[in-house]
Amino acid sequence: MNWIILIIAGLFEVGFTSCLGKAKEATGNEAYLWYGGFVVSLVVSMGLLIKATETLPLGTAYAVWTGIGAVGTVLMGIFVFKDPISFWRLFFIFTLIASIVGLKAVSSH
């Protein structure tokens, strides 16, 4: 169950970085709403990470959490913010995903 909580925490990490990106593009009240989404996503993400680390090894949980956030943020950048796509970017994203799966596979929990 804590692996599911950790995955959700990682998705909220993608949420807070995406809100930050959208806030940079917005002005006025719209920017404040995106910053509000950033704060809410940040609090939820950290709270879920804390909950997940009650039973999962801290180092593994943190690596998986940041990995999900990194992969998700890069994909959001490509699909939402029109960041450039290159072979090497995709290659290293796939190696990061493989590392996350590997950590899960060798975890004792």
**Torsion sign across C-alpha atoms 77, 80, 86, 87:** positive
Helices within the chain (DSSP H only): 2-25, 28-52, 58-79, 87-106
Q: Which two tokens stand for residue 69?
A: 């956030």
The 10 Å Cβ neighbour count of residue 4 is 10
Per cent of the chain over pLDDT 90 is: 85
C-alpha triplet 45, 51, 56: angle, nearest 5°? 110
Domain ranges of the chain: 2-106
Give Cβ neighbours of residue 17 (< 8 Å, ≥ 6 apart): 69, 73, 76
Please tell me the predicted confidence (pLDDT) of residue 100. Answer: 87
- Give the residue from 60, 59, 75, 54 showing the smallest Cα distance to 11: 75
Low-confidence ranges of the chain (pLDDT < 50): none
Name the pTM for this structure.
Answer: 0.86
Q: Which two tokens stand for residue 78?
A: 């490509």
